[in-house]
Amino acid sequence: MYTFSLPVLVLASVGVATAASIPELLFWRFLQSIGASPGYVLGAGVIGDIYMLEERGRAMGIFFAVRGSILNP
């Protein structure tokens, strides 16, 4: 999944950087979200698989806090 989503994210990011109109920008942002969203889902799934139930909430909190601070500075 990462192999598919990363090229989509990179291509869409280049499209966002070169967009000449608002509709074009919105199209590229939509495509960018399709490329970025698997990272959230797969990351949370991996955490759910490797941590025991008692530790999972803390690990998820750290994951989403770090992921959110990187994407939304």
What is the chain's pLDDT, residue by residue, as a tens digit (73 residues)? 878 888 999 999 999 999 999 999 999 999 999 998 888 888 888 998 999 989 999 999 988 888 766 655 4
Instruction: Provide the residue range defining the domain that includes 58.
Output: 2-71
Task: Give the burial string for 23-42 (b: 16+ CB within 10 Å, else e).
Answer: eeeeebeebbeebbebbeee
| Domains of the chain: total | 1
Distance between CA atoms of 13 and 30, rounded to whole angstroms? 10
The CB density around residue 9, as the number of other CB atoms within 10 Å, is 20
Amino acid type, 31: L
| Contact in structure between 42 and 26 (CB atoms under 8 Å) | no
pTM recorded for the entire structure: 0.69
